[in-house]
Structure 1
Amino acid sequence: MRKLILFLFMLVSGIIVAQQEPIKVVFDVTSANPDVHRTAAKHLRLMAEAYPDSQFEMVIYSGAIKMVDRKASVAGETLAEMVKRSNVSVVVCEQTMKRHKMVNDDLIPGVGSVPDGIFEIVMKQKEGWGYIKEVN
């Protein structure tokens, strides 16, 4: 709860003070917990709306696969709206999809895929992207 309050305080503070320069943030989601899925999608939405000149990518892999399942996602509505934004991308690990026997048609429309979720995050960090791990 403290983390959420701190996050919201920082978000509100950031909205009040004009953003100096665009940022790039990659969100890492691996939890199977639906509450984490809802919260992560909300964080993505709030950041993308508050900082429209910045870039955001959410990388989903491992136990979080249901977050992008078009039939089972508790965050599907939010993610479907977010992927329409030019400053947001949501991608899922193809290795995770393979393990769960999922294909692109099983995903929320607009969600992309990458060959390896961990590699994607490492490459983003190498390019200077900030990193956020979404957890309970």
Structure 2
Amino acid sequence: MKKLLSSLVVVAVALFGSGLAPSCLADPGAAKGTGKYQIVFHVSENSPQQWQIALNNAMSFQRNLGKDNTQVEIVANGPGLNMLKLDSPVADRVTHALDLSIDVVACGETMKNTKITGADLIGGVRVVLGGIIEIADRQRAGWTYIRP
């Protein structure tokens, strides 16, 4: 047993002491290669309250870590897409988030299925093929996923 523990200690020191530890352990919030904290928020509820939470979280994240140190994205799909319409009760806050360089993304698949057009959306909202595809791509690239 002592020999096993000694061996594990030697392996741990060899890996972590030599710089071969995974980069996420060195800086768990920073995505691979960018040095920035990258986070994607997922909102699929047609709820002003849920959107307020997501927007508060996104803005707080960026403010506390610094705009130059972060990439923040909010992806809306399903019923959550309604909050990205021009007449949405959170339209002003979404516009403010866009002004802060927070990327707000609409699911093209939901738009197609619900007959929502780009003209119906708040200016600056980016449309992607699919919201879930966007989220999966971000996660594959090392982004942190949050569902507020």
The bucket for the TM-score relative to the shorter chain is: 0.7 to 0.9
| Equivalent of 2:79 in 63, 71, 80 | 63
Query: After the TM superposition, which parts of structure 1 deviate over 6 Å for at least 4 consecutive aligned residues?
Result: none
User: What percentage of aligned pairs have identical amino acids?
Assistant: 29
Give TM-score, length-normalised by structure 1: 0.77
**Aligned twin of 2:94:** 79
Quote how far apart the aligned CAs of 1:37 are: 1.4
CA RMSD of aligned residues (A): 1.7
> C-alpha separation between the residues in 1 aligned to 2:137 and 2:95?
25
Give TM-score, length-normalised by structure 2: 0.71
Structure number with greater Rg is 2
Q: Which structure's residues are more often helix, by fraction?
A: 2
**Aligned twin of 2:55:** 41
Secondary structure of residue in 2 paired with 1:26: strand
**Aligned twin of 2:107:** 93
For structure 2, which runs of at least 5 residues remain unmatched after alignment?
1-28
Does the Cα contact within 8 Å between 1:38 and 1:75 map onto a contact in 2? yes
> C-alpha separation between the residues in 2 aligned to 1:61 and 1:46?
22
Aligned residues: 114
Quote how far apart the aligned CAs of 1:39 are: 1.3
Matched, 1:50 2:78: no
For structure 1, which runs of at least 5 residues remain unmatched after alignment?
1-18
Greater relative CO, 1 or 2 (CA 8 Å, sep 6+): 1
Secondary structure of residue in 2 paired with 1:131: strand
Quote how far apart the aligned CAs of 1:99 are: 1.6
